[in-house]
Amino acid sequence: MYKCSKLIVLLLISAASCTYKNDNSNKLASTIQDLLGNVVHLATPSLVYNEDNYNQFSYTDYKIVVYTDSADCVDCMFKLDSWKEVISDFETNFQNTVSFYFFFHPAAREHIENLLIKENFKYPIFIDTDNKFYNSNKIPASGLLRCFLLDKNNRIVSVGNPTLASGAWRLYREIVKDSIMFETLSQIQK
């Protein structure tokens, strides 16, 4: 399964290389290859916003993890309406299989909180004022690569932000769908 997802990621990178110079696509491919298989440590940051919703997302086969810091344009990288659409799609098609974790290391915590209130965003947000998440994990410099699909062991199986790249959304869906089909076939064979 990991070989399949790596192949798909490499095909996605090849398709994207038309828009990047060779040097940039080689760096992108190398960064993604370095990330695949790494364990992401979901250390509890300083503050959990929407903590009431945290437990319902804790024990799933897959996790989508997003990291944004003050160097990123938070409003650009964290498009709440787009994330609501992605989350709704996963909830509808893959009930209780995928959970979402959003980690922020903001310059101003109030900006994030106001944005979340304004958008009525009900999913758990970790406001990481001490930057524990970043310091505990291998986070790439590119904001485009700060979104990961993790397996149940918190290993990165794919990289890319589904709100910024429809290819990442399709890839994440295919990986989860294939996993569910594999699990179903395994149960039938028992």
What string of DSSP letters covers the chain?
-HHHHHHHHHHHHHHHGGGS-HHHHHHHHHHHHHHTTPBPP----SEEETGGGTGGGSS-SEEEEEEEETTS-HHHH--HHHHHHHHHHHHHHSTTTEEEEEEEE-S-HHHHHHHHHHHT--S-EEE-TT-HHHHHS---SSGGG-EEEE-TT-BEEEE--TTT-HHHHHHHHHHHHHHHHHHHHHHHH-
Compute how many other C-beta atoms are within 10 angstroms of the C-beta atom of residue 8.
17
What stretch of H or E contains 8?
Answer: helix 2-16
What is the pLDDT at residue 59? 74
Give me the chain's average pLDDT, please. Answer: 79
What is the pLDDT at residue 183? 78
| Domain residue limits, the chain | 2-183
Which carries the bigger pLDDT value, residue 137 or residue 18? 137
What stretch of H or E contains 148?
Answer: strand 147-150
Class of domain 2-183: alpha beta
Q: Confirm if 119 and 111 have CB atoms less than 8 A apart.
A: no
What is the pLDDT at residue 52? 58
pLDDT digits (tens, 9 = 90+) for 123-167: 778 888 888 888 899 899 887 899 999 999 999 999 999 988 888
Residue of 114, 112, 94 lying closest to 102 (CA atoms) = 112
Least confident span in 9-13, 101-105, 116-120, 173-177: 9-13
Most confident of 54-68, 74-88, 148-162: 148-162
Which carries the bigger pLDDT value, residue 54 or residue 86? 86
Which residue's entry shows tokens 């319902």?
56
**Which residues make beta-bridge pairs with 21?**
none
Which carries the bigger pLDDT value, residue 99 or residue 3? 99
What is the pLDDT at residue 17? 46
What is the pLDDT at residue 37? 94
Q: Confirm if 2 and 180 have CB atoms less than 8 A apart.
A: no
